[in-house]
Structure 1
Amino acid sequence: MERYRDRVFSLAFRMVGNAAWAEDLTQEAFLRAYTRLGLYDPSQPFATWLLCLTARLCLNALRDRRVEEERMERAAKAMPYVPTLEEQLYERERQRTLQRLLLRLPAEQRAALLLHYT
């Protein structure tokens, strides 16, 4: 199997674009090849079978990752936004500053602004 390692890794890396992930998929490809060796047709080139197995493994991994990312995005969108403590403090201070500035304005201007923005 060592003679095919570089080819399998190269294919996995080109497909997933991440060396660590490609290394994991390379190991998984060899494990699957070993456990499914009975499915290999000796009249065909072994490298072709192994690389086909690797390609399918990579495609499945990419699909699974995309599905997981979409699930996480939906979950994040479903959660209500909760501002951080820092954001809450900033907003409170902003409101106080705005209130002080509004109180400095003449009553007519203050009323016009309040009517327009509320």
Structure 2
Amino acid sequence: MANPFVHVELSTTSVPKAKAFYSKLFKWKLADLPMATPGGKYTAIQVGDGTGGGMMKQMIPGAGSAWMPYVLVTDIDAATKKANKLGGKIMKPVTEVEGMGWLSIIEDPTGAIIGLWEPQDE
């Protein structure tokens, strides 16, 4: 399948509450990892079969908790530019996730937000 969903991320106002809820609801395995931001932690979500994800503290002041799906692309720069050309808005430009790949976040013409992901070659 071209451009599958490959990651789902929760930006939450309370990581401890989210971790307690989802680990009990779904029996997900959660692993805390350091983030590049000072004092930041990223919780990896391991689901077994299927698309995994992560959760972290909401970084937008005043914003509520929200899930964001990421779609696999082969050329993040081209896909981000194409989204903009088609009437999308670039919310976060192409950004490197050190040692893993690149992401960008776009808003479609209807206001829905989605992430694009290009993994680093191994």
What is the TM-score normalised by the length of structure 1?
0.22
Bigger fraction of residues in strand: 2
Which structure: larger Rg? Answer: 1
Bigger fraction of residues in helix: 1
